[in-house]
Structure 1
Amino acid sequence: MRSLASIVLAFESVVLALVTPVMISVADIRPAVAIPVCLGLFVLALVAAGLLRFRAGYVLGSIVQVGAVGLGFVVPVMFVLGLAFASFWVAAIVLGRRIEEAKKAHEAQTG
């Protein structure tokens, strides 16, 4: 579960960093607002990826998903990208749990 979730957060962090110039140039948001918001979410995504050993990493990752979707109010394409990454996030958690359960069942059978 952790590896899938970290992949989602890593790719999402790239998107969050790249949306900064879009907010400044296309959405006409002041750099003093756009940089802390977008790069703050970028850093939060990386920190969450590093903390995925703990429950706090998943909580922070979920906060990043809410923030990414929320950016859609400023840059409408972020509704699509944010919802896509939020879907990937949920899928990574659900599929990751299933994979871990299958591994445990397999180990119990063979062990």
Structure 2
Amino acid sequence: MRNPKRMLAASTLVSEALVVFFATLAAYGLSADRHTAYLVVGGVLVLLCVLGAGMLRSRAGYGLGWALQAVMVACGFVVPMMFFVGAVFAVIWFFAVRIGDRIEREQAEVARRLADER
């Protein structure tokens, strides 16, 4: 049985990695002096999102996911639209974790009831 919480959270982080990639390109393209720091920081954030998705078997992965949500909102200081996009992803992350927990509990309850019937 697949872990629904991990699947929802991983999907969120991978989607976020794609958005960060394109936001990085936007920040670089809109910059008057085209700072390569935007590319480096954006690349690191993309890698951290993908790494976080892979680390979701442990609590550290979820901690990294929460930290990335805060960083994404803070990216709004560089690309103002990221305030909105980061907040949207933070809400999606919250519900992915919360609903994933609920689905896990319900699956465990159904499995327990089926085992009791046998």
Question: By the TM > 0.5 criterion, same fold?
Answer: yes
* Counterpart residue identity of residue 20, structure 1: T
> Could you say which residue in structure 2 is the equivalent of 1:68?
72
> Identity across aligned pairs (percent)?
35
> Is structure 2 residue 112 aligned with structure 1 residue 105?
no
Q: 1:102: how far off?
A: 0.2
Q: 1:25: how far off?
A: 1.8
Q: Distance in 1 between matches of 2:32 and 2:110?
A: 55
Q: Distance in 1 between matches of 2:64 and 2:49?
A: 7
Question: Is the Cα–Cα contact under 8 Å of residues 28 and 36 in structure 2 kept in the other structure?
Answer: no
* Counterpart residue identity of residue 98, structure 1: R
> Is structure 2 residue 21 aligned with structure 1 residue 17?
yes
> Could you say which residue in structure 2 is the equivalent of 1:59?
63
Change (3 A) 1:50 1:29: farther
Whose radius of gyration is greater, 1 or 2? 2
Q: TM (normalized to structure 1)? A: 0.94
> Could you say which residue in structure 2 is the equivalent of 1:32?
36
> Is structure 2 residue 59 aligned with structure 1 residue 88?
no
Change (3 A) 1:66 1:29: farther
Q: TM (normalized to structure 2)? A: 0.89
Q: Say which of 6, 10, 20 aligns to 2:10.
A: 6
Q: Distance in 2 between matches of 1:31 and 1:100?
A: 45
Question: Is the Cα–Cα contact under 8 Å of residues 27 and 75 in structure 1 kept in the other structure?
Answer: no
Change (3 A) 1:29 1:81: farther
The unaligned stretches of length 5 or more in structure 1 are none
Runs (4 or more) in structure 1 with deviation over 2 Å come to 27-32
